[in-house]
Amino acid sequence: MIAGRLDELLTTLTPETAWVAAEPTTVYVDGAQFWAHVEDQAGAEALKAGQVSASAPVLVTARWQDARHLTTSSRIRRADGRVIEVARPVRELGRGDGAEILCTYDADGGA
């Protein structure tokens, strides 16, 4: 893992249950920050429930020790404020040298 490629400071967002108006709802709280390389992939379209929806895949490369705790219920906030959702389990690169995290922008484009 080449540290020079880790050029963006990201913040993990961890889901927690909060009670709002006597109803449980999921909120995301800030977690650890870590350096990573973020690469926007070409857009893809998927057929879901009879509707075509656009998704923008994002590939995040980070150190293994920084990313191993992420799950598919986690989100990541980019340095520019956009939020991406972890789409697949974190994939280890080498022998714990690095991690690849496949993500997508959330429903509102990460805004």
Please report, in tens digits, the pLDDT of each residue of the chain (111 residues total).
556 689 999 999 999 999 988 899 999 999 999 999 999 886 555 444 455 556 678 999 999 999 989 999 999 999 999 999 999 999 998 887 899 999 998 665 555
Is 0.85 topped by the overall pTM? no
From the list 61, 62, 43, the residue with the least C-alpha distance to 53 is: 43
How far, in Å, CA of 77 to CA of 83, rounded? 4
Between the alpha carbon of residue 98 and those of residues 21, 32, 86, 89, the distances in Å are 42, 17, 16, 14
Asked if 97 contacts 1 with a C-beta cutoff of 8 angstroms, the reply is yes
